[in-house]
Structure 1
Amino acid sequence: MKTETDVCEETPTMDEDQVNSVIQRWRDTPEEDLKPEDYEQFRSLGSACLAENGAARILRFIEDEKNQQLMVSMGHTLVAPLVNEVVKKEKCPHHCQAALTHLTRICRPDELLHSLLQIIQDVHPTVISETIITVVPLFQTVLLELEERRAASVGLVLSALLDQLVRLPVPHTEQQEVDDEFGLCHCCEVLAQFVKCLTEDVKRKDDDDEMRAELLQFCLRTLRELLLEAELKQDRKLSPLWLFATEIMFYCPTLQATLVVVKASVSELLFYGSLRKSQCKESRACLAYLLFVQLITVDSFPAVFSPVFVLQCNMEYISQLLSSKKESHLLKGLALCAKSLENVQDNRLPVSLLELPTFYSAPQNLRRILTDCPMQHLRKSALHVFQLFIDKLDVEAKHKFFRCMLKTSSHAGVEGYIVKNIRNQVEFSMEPANGNKWFLGEEFLWLLALVLCVPQAAETDLLNSMDRIMESLNLLRYLVIRDKEPWSKTGVWAELCRIKDEYLKMLRVCIGLSRGYYSAELNALREDQKLKAREARDAARCGRLVSGMTVKHEKVSNMSPEVQRQVLQSALVTFDLMESLIFRIDEITAENLKIPT
């Protein structure tokens, strides 16, 4: 019958008697006299035993009464090989699990903690989820038994677990969450229960401020590094990530309880106080998104804050999210901006808000998405939010915002959209009780001067500026069609006509030059195609092919000849359309002044 060698099969360097002798020496040696090589040898013997299907023998050895003092001294070195066997799930993992449970009861918590931290920090990328699921219950037992520096240890453990968790790919579709190929969702469930246990323990102790701070830091980091990347939707409330967001962060005793425990409310984190200044902006941005867009715990949020105040505070987070290039961040930023704006009445945002940096940066980020983002659904959403923002500004704020965008956008499409909004605002201002100096009086002339200008004068490429120019001409046509009485009352009609005349005069020059250029390009293209056709026929007659051709005009040389022709003809049609609008504006003006055309 085997004795101490039940802990391990014989190794190439030690026979059965040697193993028994070494184990007996360890039993007889005071703990303070054990050397580092003794611990390493003990671990090696345990690993060798496990490698030979010895999980049951390891368990018997660990539970043997005469080995308990040895386990107190050296048992923590067996944790790593036992966890490795559980993760592999190949050789009696239930015996290994039972061995680990026993070790957590008898080994010193600080030594076990060190061993477990080493395991999670060195985990291989292919077994991250399996390792987290295995070690979290062990961490829970060890942390609850710690007496000294417990808060710091909790912080180390939570940080180490999250370091590994965020390495797992975040599922973005419902099917990916169901499949949970990389185990992230399962890990979230385990981690939620772990933090819940820690939080419940803290709630029983009123003076553990350090532990409260560590839990809060973990929750905020989870918001920033995990939930900010996840796609969370109310119509998928049974998805693991949604439940993680609600249970670990809000409804179950985790973040909400933690916030109560640390004596900090959600409103303090988001809107004011020292916590708001010290915590990561991205964490608070995700918190604002979950609160105001997904409405998690919104019922417990104070109703004393006005919609304008909430928007003003959220603009910081909106700017942060919209400045990102990540789709998940942009989606959350757009949704948070839309929801914050929707609660504000139209024409209520005062011009003073535009002095705030965030009220400048957020619209500029929207403009960047509109002009640079390659994803159509994001551009469509950004346009909706952009218009919503305009609708909420009061008339003076609209006037200032339009001027700012015309000066800074450098994009004909955006500028054309702004000019279209200017026309709508002029029409609104002409209605009874809506009159104002910003769109009917002298102040409007400053705005109109920005609209009715040709930035590069005669050198302006009208084709690239088409959106802005067409909307500007439509605005002009609208202005001259309307009764001039409102303008006469404000004394700006004469100046408006002067600005209009200068603009149309320069525009005619630009159209003439551009038409001449594009006509020449089109004629050159036709001549070039004729030349190529003639050369091809000549080459065919000679029984050979021309190996290369020279394109004389290379303005659009990267396009096929047919596409070049279509672009050039479209440009000429556009110039005709511009010219017809100019003619119509002159015609209406002449009729209003009673001058024959």
Structure 2
Amino acid sequence: MEPSVDVVELISNLLDTGKYKEALSVPNEQKHKDSFKDNCWDLISVIVGKLQDDTIIVKPSLHGACEQLLALIVEASTPEEALLELIEQVEVAKNDAQFGVILVPLQQLLKKLSVKRGRSLEWCLNSISTYIENIPIPEHHLEDKERLLMDCDTNIRRIAKVYSMLPPFYRPFIKELEQSHSNMKAKQIINAFLVSLLGKPLINIDLDPDNNAMSEARQCCSMIIQDICTLEKNIFRVIEYINICHKENQKSVKKANASNDDEIAPYEHREKINMTTLAGLAYTLFSGHFEVPDANIPQVYSAEYTVHTVMLSVVHLLSFTEYGLLAKGIALCNAILKHLPDNATQTLLACSVHFDLCKNLMNVAIYSQYEPLRKEAVKLIGLHINKFVYSGRIMLIKYLIETANHSGMIGYAITLYKNSIDLSLKDATLDKCFTGAQFMNMIKKICNLPHGAESDIVELADQIITSLNFLRYLALRDSENKTGIRDCFQMIESDYLEKLRTGLNMSKAHYEEKMKEIEEGKGLGNDTNISVNVGGNVLDNIPVENKKEIINSALNAFHLIEGLVARLSECININKMQALTMDCE
């Protein structure tokens, strides 16, 4: 009687020693057939484990032998058992060669399970998307045309390569579904998988058509969109989940996984269908960066619904710091604002997403490390605000002033307010939101020194300069007192200008003293250590010349503000004189 042979060890040794033909002949040998069939589970992990990323190049015969052995296992094994082991191998795959070689036998087994495929298909797709999500994303801090270099990055190329493996795997199942319209669950399973692919890592990659029109990543994304549209004729059925996810996040709802996976609908798996993956879908559909069939985006939905839903995705994308996500948020925002009608009613602002958009655009404009995105964010703030009627604009401008905590941004908000008043003054009748209590309230906000005369003038310089220019403009432009600016003069002079003059005198004296100390310290040698506080920042261990330059810049700002204060006072007096003249007449 022949001793029993460990088929797993036998095939493993034959593959290791390069005896590929012998390894392939084992399953067909009568003495090994039963053992081969009984050990398919263990053989799968051994065979897959032989592959490295470069195996197909340095040992193409080994790669081919592994593919053929897996095909033989599919024929010999019990489909359910082999499928579970292949799914596990996807989850533990150590490289893309192992991941790729598993897809073909996985597809073949799923085809065998045509009747019981539902849950098995979902498990397979979930394991695939989990593998893809774990691919690391590089962040090189490149801007503009430099982003073209991203396609040379190892991980970017890896992502494109892995994504290119997917359509040959799932498209046969889509073709089956096109012929049979009854299996709605299977359609949703595949579509939910495709939507999840638009999240991490693809959402982190630059897909801008101007810079990367022919990139592999864009081509992969285009294929995914086509397949989503093939499965779902009305794409708003998926877009609606943006609202659902947003509401869940607001209420901090965490959907618990049911003990029976059948109880959870494909679009309810939040680890796959969440705000990030849905934001990726919204970007591909509405940014204009990809071709989308018109039939898949029905026009029966109101512009308000479309704007508010997609805007939630914009807000989510703008909450990140990575270039790829921010750039997509900016592009999507630009596109969706075109759907918002001009002179939109302020009632739309009952939806808080508009204020959230302002907040996130403001954060990008102030804090993003990418200058082009900062500039675009500033433009979009103005574009968004100016889409509304005057009363709506004032609500958003007021929100900016109250929440910005940044002198330059507050100054920009004041400029937007000034431009709106200027437009309204050209109309036959001044809009009532620029008069009375609303106007007085805005003037108080614009003339705000948070700490009175002790406020940091340097830190507030942009805001102060813009405020003074605005008040001077209004004193000259509104000679007929349509806004009621004359009723504000006393408050402006006593609560703002007087404190500002005091603050300027204190600040000038402080900085001039610091300059004197530096100049005197310079003559005493290099050991003199003088720290200077500018705009709340201590300038220590900085070369003397740089300190002098910074202090001179501050002193110049003080002189500019002094000149504007004097000019504003003069304009206020002129306006008062005009009022007296009109009274005499």
CA RMSD of aligned residues (A): 2.8
Aligned partner of 1:501 among 489, 493, 507? 493
Partner of 1:551: 530
Partner of 1:567: 550
Question: Distance between the aligned counterparts of 1:466 and 1:275, measured in 2?
Answer: 44
- 3-state SS, counterpart of residue 4 of structure 2: helix
Q: Secondary structure at the match of 2:232?
A: helix
Matched, 1:370 2:349: no
C-alpha distance in 2 between matches for 1:298 and 1:522: 67
Which residue does the alignment assign to 2:120? 153
TM, length-normalised to structure 2: 0.84
Q: Is 1:347 paired with 2:343?
A: yes
Match in the other structure for 2:131: 164
Q: Which residue in the other structure is 1:109 paired with?
A: 79
2:44 corresponds to which residue?
79
Query: Given the superposition, is the C-alpha separation of residues 178 and 105 from structure 1 closer, same or farther in structure 2, using an over 3 Å criterion?
Result: farther
Deviations 1:217-244 (A, max 9, x none): 3122212223322221334444322222
Give me the whole-angstrom Cα distance separating, in 2, the residues matched to 1:342 and 1:206: 36
The SS at the match of 2:39 is helix
Aligned ranges for residues 7-86 of structure 1 at < 5 Å? Answer: 20-23=2-5, 41-64=6-29, 67-85=32-50
What is the Cα deviation at residue 486 of structure 1? Answer: 4.5
Structure 1 53/593 Cα, relative in aligned 2: closer, same or farther at 3 Å?
closer
3-state SS of 2:386 partner = helix
State the alpha-carbon separation in 2 of the partners of residues 167 and 271 from structure 1: 27
CA separation of 1:406 and 1:175: change in aligned 2, threshold 3 A: closer
C-alpha offsets along residues 37-96 of structure 1, whole Å, 9 cap, x if unaligned? xxxx33122212222222201212223466544443334433333334455342543334
1:269-297 Cα offsets, whole Å, 9 max, x none, are: 22479977744122221111101112431
2: CA distance between counterparts of 1:174 and 1:131?
29
Paired with 2:10 and 2:121, the residues of 1 have a C-alpha distance of: 31
Could you report, residue by residue, the CA deviation over 1:175-233 in whole angstroms, capped at 9, with x for unpaired residues? 65478675332321221121111222234444434433322331222122233222213
CA separation in 2, counterparts of 1:273 and 1:457?
45
Query: 2:272 aligned with 1:267, yes or no?
Result: no
Distance in 2, Cα, partners of 1:141 & 1:437: 71
**How do 1:469-480 and structure 2 match up within 5 A?**
469-480=464-475
Residues 317 and 62 of structure 1, relative CA distance in 2, 3 Å threshold:
same
Q: Distance in 1 between matches of 2:512 and 2:138?
A: 54
Deviation at 1:440, TM superposition (A): 4.2
2:506 pairs with one of 510, 513, 516: 513
Q: Which moved more, 1:134-143 or 1:377-386?
A: 377-386
CA contact (8 A) 2:11 2:26 kept: no
Question: 1:459 — aligned with what?
Answer: 454
The whole-number CA distance in structure 2 between the counterparts of 1:479 and 1:274 is 43
1:47 and 1:421, CA in 2 relative to 1: closer, same or farther beyond 3 A? same
Indicate which of 209, 222, 230 corresponds to 1:257.
Answer: 230
Gapped regions of structure 1 (runs ≥ 5): 1-17, 24-40, 537-547
What CA distance in whole angstroms lies between the structure 2 residues aligned with 1:166 and 1:440? 55
Distance apart, 1:452 and its partner CA? 1.3
Decide whether the 8 Å contact of 2:355 with 2:399 is kept in 1. Answer: no
- Choose the corresponding residue for 1:228, options 197, 203, 206: 203
**Conserved 8 A contact 1:452-1:499:** no
Counterpart-to-counterpart distance in 2, 1:552 and 1:54: 76
Q: Counterpart amino acid of 2:312? A: E
Q: 1 CA distance for matches of 2:231 and 2:168?
A: 14
Cα 1:525/1:186, change in 2 over 3 Å: closer
Which secondary structure does the structure 1 equivalent of 2:201 belong to? helix
CA distance in 1, matches of 2:3, 2:204: 56
- 8 A Cα contact 1:511 1:575, kept in partner: yes
Residue in structure 1 matched with residue 221 of structure 2 by the alignment: 245
- Alignment-mate amino acid for residue 214 of structure 1: I
Structure 2 unaligned regions, length at least 5: 140-146, 248-267, 581-585
User: Which structure carries more relative contact order (alpha carbon 8 Å, separation 6+)?
Assistant: 2
- 2:274 maps to 280
CA distance in 2, matches of 1:397, 1:107: 67
> Quick one: which amino acid aligns to residue 501 of structure 1?
E
> Does the 8 A contact of 1:171 with 1:230 survive in 2?
no
Q: 1:283 & 1:561 partners in 2: Cα distance?
A: 52
> Based on CA coordinates, which of the two structures has the bigger radius of gyration?
1
Equivalent residue letter for 1:51: D
Q: TM-score, normalised by structure 1?
A: 0.82
In the superposition, relative to structure 1, how do residues 289 and 434 fare at CA in structure 2: closer, same or farther (>3 Å)? Answer: farther
Matches of 2:449 and 2:150, distance apart in 1 = 52
Q: Percent identity?
A: 22
CA distances 1:318-360 after superposition (whole Å, capped 9, x unpaired): 1111112222211111111111113334332x22333323222
Shift of 1:121: 2.5
Instruction: List aligned pairs for 1:376-415, cutoff 5 A.
Output: 376-415=371-410
Selected match of 1:202 from 162, 177, 181: 177
Matched length = 533
